[in-house]
Amino acid sequence: MRVTASGLALAGLLAVSACTAGPAPRADAPGSAPAAADRPAPASAAASPGASGAPALTVDQAQASLISEADLGVPWTASEGTATWHDGLLKATTAQPDCQRLLDALYADDVVGAPAGPQAVVTLDDGDDAAQLRYQVDASHAAGLDRTLAWLRTLPGSCGRFTAQTTRSGVELVQVADAGLPVLGDARQGLRVTVTWQGSADTDPSTLTLDLAVVRVGDDAIVLTTGALGTLPSDTTGQALGTGVQRLAQAREKGRAQA
């Protein structure tokens, strides 16, 4: 993969971002093991079954449903911090409301809204491809997730090609296309988001490629974002989702057997 001088200047791979302002704090933290965070559920949400009648997702089940670097193999490792392209390219403004909503959701890592119960998150880095993957499991509600999926399906049409203004990188061109996910879970939608910017007049344009995927499994949500400067690692999205959906189903089945 070729990364231009302007891309390296902006996104020197995976340094901890100095910009902490944003719509919501990131839940992942550095460490030698996969970073994960749980958000305690309100008592009513934790105690109530979902629309399917299944017991609500527990903290232990959410944690057990995460993937790890071992599932993806070399060169994926536990994350050491937020990729610098995250703030440099996703913190942007545009005059189109739906497209701004997408940018805000990507920047805040908040595509499906606040969870209805426990949430677990892991972030992984691929140093060979200047890539970062964020994998999230939420207790949610089927109806709300289906509304989010319906909105995501409209974006290749309403935000197929637009420009946005950044603080660090100037004007960028954003393109949104359907990502064509494999048949997983009960409902799903994926997007391929490509961001192109011109670092300076004497350099070639640079590109960030970002995959966003949301999968509904009953009342639970899996949200995956994978981004890289240039070309994304081959089939990482499909591999991560296939493993994750199976792991969530296993955690749910184990919970039912122990009930």
Condensed to tens digits (0 to 9), the pLDDT of residues 100-158 reads 999 999 999 999 999 999 999 999 999 888 899 999 999 999 999 999 999 999 999 99
In a domain, 249, yes or no: yes
pLDDT, average across residues 210-229:
96
In this prediction the pTM is 0.79
Query: What pLDDT was estimated at residue 80?
Result: 87
Euclidean distance between CA atoms 25 and 213, whole angstroms: 20
Helix (H, G, I), strand (E, B) or coil at 44: helix
> What band does 8 get if pLDDT is binned at 50, 70 and 90?
very low
Question: Quick one: how far is CA 185 from the chain centroid?
Answer: 17
Considering its fold, how many domains does the chain have in total? 1
In a domain, 199, yes or no: yes
Query: What pLDDT was estimated at residue 228?
Result: 94
Query: What pLDDT was estimated at residue 53?
Result: 58
- Give the C-alpha distances (Å, rounded to integers) separating 238 from 132, 176, 181, 222: 15, 18, 7, 13
Residue 146, by phi and psi: left (phi above 0), alpha (psi -120 to 50) or beta? alpha
> What band does 190 get if pLDDT is binned at 50, 70 and 90?
very high
In a domain, 41, yes or no: no
pLDDT at 25 over 50: no
Which residues, including other chains, have CB under 8 Å from residue 34's CB and lie 6 or more apart?
66, 68, 69, 78, 122, 123, 124
Pairing of strands 220-229, 206-217: antiparallel
End-to-end Cα spacing for the chain: 49
Query: What pLDDT was estimated at residue 257?
Result: 67
Query: What pLDDT was estimated at residue 139?
Result: 94
Give the residue numbers spanning the domain of 59: 53-258
In a domain, 7, yes or no: no
What would the DSSP string read from start to end of 178-234?
E----S-SSEEEEEEEEEEE---TTS--EEEEEEEEEEEETTEEEEEEEEEESSPPT
pLDDT at 219 over 80: yes
In a domain, 191, yes or no: yes
Does residue 75 have a cis peptide bond before it, meaning omega lies within 30 degrees of 0? yes
Q: Which of 209, 205, 249 is nearest to 227 (CA)?
A: 209
When computed from its CA atoms, the radius of gyration of the chain, rounded to whole angstroms, is 18
In a domain, 32, yes or no: no
pLDDT at 71 over 60: yes
Chain mean pLDDT for the chain: 82
pLDDT, average across residues 217-239:
92
120 exposed, middle or buried (CB, 10 Å; 0-12, 13-18, 19+)?
Answer: buried
> What band does 45 get if pLDDT is binned at 50, 70 and 90?
very low
CATH number of the domain bearing residue 105 = 3.40.1000.70
In a domain, 1, yes or no: no
pLDDT, average across residues 207-220:
96
* 252 HSE (CA, 13 A, CB side): 19
Share of the chain above pLDDT 70, in %: 76
- Give the pair of three-digit tokens for residue 148: 């989010």
In a domain, 220, yes or no: yes
162: amino acid identity, one letter: F
pLDDT, average across residues 7-35:
37
Kind plus residue range of the DSSP H or E element containing 240: helix 236-258
